[in-house]
Structure 1
Amino acid sequence: MNSFSKGALYVVATPIGNLDDLSRRAMDTLAQADLIAAEDTRHSVRLLDHIGVRVPLVSLHEHNETSRIERIRQALDDGQRVALISDAGTPLISDPGYRLVQALREADYTVIPIPGPSALITALSAAGLPTERFLFEGFLPAKSSGRRQRLSDVVELPVTIVLYESPHRIRQLLEDIEIVFGERHLVVARELTKTFETFLQGTASTLLARMMDDPDQMRGEFVVMMAPAPEKAPADSGQIDGDQLLSSLLEEGVGVKQSASVATRILGGRKSDWYQRAQAIKDGGFCN
């Protein structure tokens, strides 16, 4: 492969499920690498066995990435060809590799992308949601309070919001989306490119009900996509309804700022005004 340069790092996208999605260029790159830096070497061995590649492996994950930089730099200085792969998909996209690539770029090493599968793009391409503008938030915080805060930060954006989630927290994520996003349209993709690939669509509450009825729908890795924020309703909604909405949100443990964001989206008006009203209700008063 004449175009395969020595002393370069190759960032190689690998399949997210179906091994046949590995491109010919990616196969050639892995076969001619002198060293492969893999997120989990035990996992990557299965892919390499599938394509008949025997190349030395070194682990590179979130806990040891910084300490591996010098090891990779030395290999490149020795003229070796190093491939970086993650467990699935494109490295650096909610996967390790950013600190390595940043360090090598700053030191003027050659870094070459070998494009291929990405759960983010795969899900968006078949979701039926607007794709001219979207915001990728990756994995949200593990704690509900942190998730709700991040969700409230993006709830009013006129773009498709894309998240990743694990099977262990998909139910909790949807519960938080229901509180912050209300009846917003969602598309949830799971097991992409695998045998049980599924796209579910509806509101967070309907998807929660579907998963509770069929626990198999909570298996696998998830891409969760929310439709862009709708146009705001006129700001002349009734005062009592607004207070009832804020009171309900606060009783559910939603923060003042998040409650104000939800009220603004549903009822219109200024977020600062709703914030003051929510704070007054929380403090036990009433804002006239």
Structure 2
Amino acid sequence: MALRAAHEAAATQHYPQAALYVVATPIGNLADIGLRALHVLQLVDAVACEDTRHTQSLLRAYGLERPGAQLMAAHQHNEAEAAQTVLARLQQGQRVAYVSDAGTPALSDPGARLVAAARAGGFAVVPLPGASSVTTALSVAGIADDAAFVFMGFLPSKAGERDAAVQALEADPRAVVLLEAPHRIEALARALAALGARPVTVGRELTKQFEEIATVAAQELPSWLAAQATRTRGEFALVVHPAPAQAAPQEDLRVLKLLLPELPLKTAVRLAAEITGQPRNALYAQALRLKPQQDEEAGEN
């Protein structure tokens, strides 16, 4: 039924030959596969993948099992070499799909070097969007829909480097998406505790049977993990919420009040940032609040 639905929904689209298809696969729940992904996985001549046994099992679950000769391993240790094998097939006019073990390839997964090699060789690269732990975690974090975010993936495993990364993160006002493995989650939680009251949404085993999602203060992360033994099991996606906006110091306000009557708003903000060293976005927000007040005062005069 699913394969027929996939064919009916997707077969009318053009699928060029001599193309690499980058296919997102479920991050845990097999039902999260896309219809176009199913159609392409039927259509292609070969599938390059992070782990051939894992991918064969995935294909078998959808009734798409392939002969071993049509599966090619392309993981972080052999991706450059595997890319040459894929390019040889593309040169023959074949369609090749690439899947990682879970989620969207090239996001903390292999695939980027393969894509770059295909593009450098002049071949089409076709993305098939789908499951991603990054967007899944963001969608349930409850941060403002206009908030900027940055994806940092896995922080360094060495304690000193990890602490330095958290210090840099602390200075970043944007939301930050992190990934972590179960054997390192407690160390990450201890490092993130330095962020104090800044909220962190933890997504554990997203889309799977024992999925757990919670938002806690960063300083409470270690105790939250320790509260239940199961909380250190599974794969993690975490969203460090944006840093709360801070009021500009009095000196910053004084500079803005002097510049705004004389200059366009954006120019005043740019100069105020250069004079005070404060972030331009914070000064811009202050300027937007000050400008109507100053315009009103000017009108009365």
- Decide: shared fold, TM above 0.5: yes
Q: Structure 2: give runs of 5+ residues left out of the alignment.
A: 1-10, 251-275, 279-301
CA–CA distance in structure 1, aligned partners of residues 145 and 159 of structure 2: 28
More helix by share: 2
**2:153 maps to 1:142:** no
**2:206 maps to 1:192:** yes
CA–CA distance in structure 2, aligned partners of residues 69 and 17 of structure 1: 27
> C-alpha displacement at 1:210, in angstroms?
2.2
CA–CA distance in structure 2, aligned partners of residues 163 and 210 of structure 1: 17
The amino acid that maps onto 1:146 is E
**2:64 corresponds to which of 46, 49, 53:** 53
Q: Secondary structure at the match of 2:173?
A: coil
1:252 alignment counterpart:
none
8 A contact 2:74–2:83 mirrored in 1: no
2:51 alignment counterpart:
40
**1:99 corresponds to which of 113, 126, 135:** 113
The residue correspondences of 1:126-165 to structure 2 (distance < 5 A) are: 126-132=140-146, 133-165=148-180
The amino acid that maps onto 1:211 is L
8 A contact 1:160–1:228 mirrored in 2: yes
Q: Give the structure-2-normalised TM-score.
A: 0.75
> C-alpha displacement at 1:31, in angstroms?
0.9
CA–CA distance in structure 2, aligned partners of residues 205 and 171 of structure 1: 12
Number of residue pairs matched by the alignment: 238
CA–CA distance in structure 1, aligned partners of residues 186 and 247 of structure 2: 29
**2:193 corresponds to which of 178, 181, 200:** 178
RMSD: 1.9
CA–CA distance in structure 2, aligned partners of residues 43 and 109 of structure 1: 27
1:11 alignment counterpart:
22
The amino acid that maps onto 1:153 is A
8 A contact 1:130–1:227 mirrored in 2: no
1:242 alignment counterpart:
none
**2:83 maps to 1:83:** no
Q: Secondary structure at the match of 2:182?
A: coil
Point out the structure with max Rg over C-alpha.
2
The residue correspondences of 1:224-235 to structure 2 (distance < 5 A) are: 224-232=238-246
8 A contact 1:189–1:224 mirrored in 2: yes
1:124 alignment counterpart:
138
CA–CA distance in structure 2, aligned partners of residues 58 and 209 of structure 1: 44
Q: Give the structure-1-normalised TM-score.
A: 0.78
CA–CA distance in structure 2, aligned partners of residues 160 and 171 of structure 1: 21
